Chain A
Amino acid sequence: MREETALDERGFVERLRAGDPRAFEELVRSYQHRVFGVAARMLGNASEAEEVAQEVFLRVHRAVGEFRGEAKLSTWLYAITSRLCLARLAGSERRLGREGEEVLVRLANGHANPVAALERSELEAALHRAIAELPEDRRIVVVLRDLEGLSYEEIAEALELPVGTVRSRLHRGRLDLREKLERFLP
């Protein structure tokens, strides 16, 4: 699970709503990797992922006055990101090609040990491919839970779904991945 950057969220939100440009810059710097990561794993394309990620922050910039603070700021960001990604994917046939896999592997951190790096690279490529092949409704839940570390309740709030549906889709997605990654399992 990831560690979230520590922010005095309530005061931070107030600064954002007041239009403080430095607050907006802090927001972008703090959440750029997470927002971009969700978009990249959902869309499988770095340039599209950047486009969507930029749109997420611009929408936050325009609509921060409407954010009431009832949910966490991160949940709100994930909600906008998920919505934009699913909207892009709707109606289009998308499969992560070799190029997409390589892009996602390059996006990850490098490793000092070349052999381990190669093995790790092969595993990550297989992981990225397996995630990309999931149905979109299961993919977004797996990405938010297993890659971004959101709780069931946060995912349900971001995707506007019942918790039971989140639990079911997550389980189905993980079962699909288990079959695809069989050879990598002990």
Chain B
Amino acid sequence: MICHDARELFSALVDAALTTEERAVLDAHLAACPECRRELARFRGTVALLHAVAPSRAPVGFVDRVLAAARPAPWYERLWGRLSQPLAWKLPIEATVVALVAVTAVYLYERTPELRQAARLEAPVSPAPEGSRADVPGRPAEPPPAAAPGPAPSARSQLSRDVAASPPPGSRSSQYGFRDAPAKEEAGDTREAEHRAPEPGAVTGALRAESPAPPAKAAEAEAPAAAAPPALKSEAATRPADATEEQAKRALARPSPGRLAGLASAPADVSGRLAVTDRAAAERALGALLARLGATEVARRAETGGLVVELVVAGSAYPALVEGLARIGQWEPDRVAAELPAQVRVSLRITD
């Protein structure tokens, strides 16, 4: 046995816990190893010191405190505990339930387009033009009365004549007070885009101009196509330098806000379904197409299974619109008027 192994047995030796064989081997080593004998002596001295440590005593009154703690509570304390415990549980539970309901409501509102639209419809909106029956954007309305800004078909020829005779665009913009919405926002805003009614001042101004002689005034109001909303103006400014003459004509042919209000209430000249694989991308592409063609979105609403977008495009740009829609998705028109007007009202149902 080596010294290391012998010293590993010291504790058991001191505690008389060695087997007979272990004791014999250890004794034989100790007899021959004075160093291990000295080490054993120190080891025994350490253990002796430990055994001589005075015992600890619990503090005075310890037993009384333990007995008091172990005693059952009086009946009134137990009753109070039963009564108050529900409160201790009830309040956190109720608070948690309220928080969960609030979070769920917000989550559902964000995820349900119908709810958001209903909330927007309930909010005060810009008043529709006087005499207009279109209270809700995008919904087909009764034919507007004669005083409405919607031009009668007979005024279309007057319109084209007056376009040539119209004053420069700049002089008209203040009269109508177009809204300052940028084209990009209109094209890409798939959530917020709704019927963009002209500002009350602009509508009133247009109507004032139109009321004495509706067709003429309507034509006059429609004339400054270049005085279109600054959104379209800015879009024109950002158009590439090689904008074609065709696009310029389309810009000039854009209806005025007053006219738009009337068109919004009119039934669509063309309606159909645009089946797409990626609705978000399709909406962006549609917005870009409308901007390029000078078309104007007049209404947007969510319906079961799809999104309905109603727009107005110049008749001359309608073929390009169809071509563009075919590039975005599968365009399936289900109604096309026999004779398309100068401003074609198109109702698109975008589906996945």
Contact = CB atoms under 8 A, between A and B. Distances in A.
B49 A123 contact: yes
Interface of A: 1-2, 24-25, 28-29, 32-33, 35-37, 40-41, 46, 50, 53-54, 57-58, 61, 104, 107-109, 123-124, 127, 142, 145-147, 152, 167, 170-171, 174-175, 177-178, 181-182, 184-186
A21 to B, nearest CB: 8
Q: Which 4 A-B pairs have the closest CB atoms?
A: A37-B56, A108-B54, A146-B50, A36-B58
Given A167-B11, A171-B8, A171-B10, A146 B63 contact: no
Interface of B: 8, 10-12, 15, 17, 41-43, 45-47, 49-51, 53-59, 62-63, 65-67, 69-70
B11 A25 contact: no
Contact of A124 (B17, B53, B58): B53
Contacts of B41: 186
Contact of A33 (B15, B51, B55, B65): B55
B284 to A, nearest CB: 56
A124 B54 contact: yes
B53 A181 contact: no
Which among B12, B45, B54 has the highest number of chain A CB atoms within 10 Å?
A: B54
A33 B56 contact: yes
A167 B67 contact: no
10 contacts: A24-B67, A28-B62, A33-B55, A37-B56, A145-B15, A146-B51, A167-B11, A167-B12, A181-B46, A182-B42
Contacts of B67: 24-25, 28
Nearest to B8: A171
Contacts of A58: 66, 69-70
B69 A54 contact: yes
Given A28-B63, A61-B70, A178-B42, A36 B56 contact: yes
Nearest to A170: B11
A46 B56 CA distance: 11
B62 A108 contact: no
A185 B46 contact: yes
Given A41-B56, A185-B46, 18 more contacts: A24-B70, A25-B67, A32-B62, A40-B56, A50-B59, A53-B62, A54-B62, A58-B66, A58-B70, A61-B70, A108-B53, A146-B47, A146-B50, A146-B51, A147-B53, A152-B15, A178-B46, A181-B46
Contacts of A142: 50
A53 B59 CA distance: 11
A46 B55 CA distance: 14
Nearest to B45: A185
B110 to A, nearest CB: 44
Contacts of B59: 36, 46, 50
A73 B190 CA distance: 77
Contacts of A107: 56-57
A4 B65 CA distance: 23
Contacts of A61: 70
Nearest to B39: A178
Which among B10, B46, B67 has the highest number of chain A CB atoms within 10 Å?
A: B46
A175 B54 CA distance: 21
Which among A24, A147, A171 has the highest number of chain B CB atoms within 10 Å?
A: A171
Contact of A186 (B43, B45, B54, B56): B45
Nearest to B59: A50
A127 B50 contact: yes
Contacts of B54: 108-109, 124
A153 to B, nearest CB: 10
A181 B63 CA distance: 35
Contacts of A185: 42, 45-46, 49
A29 B11 contact: no
Nearest to A47: B59
Nearest to A177: B46
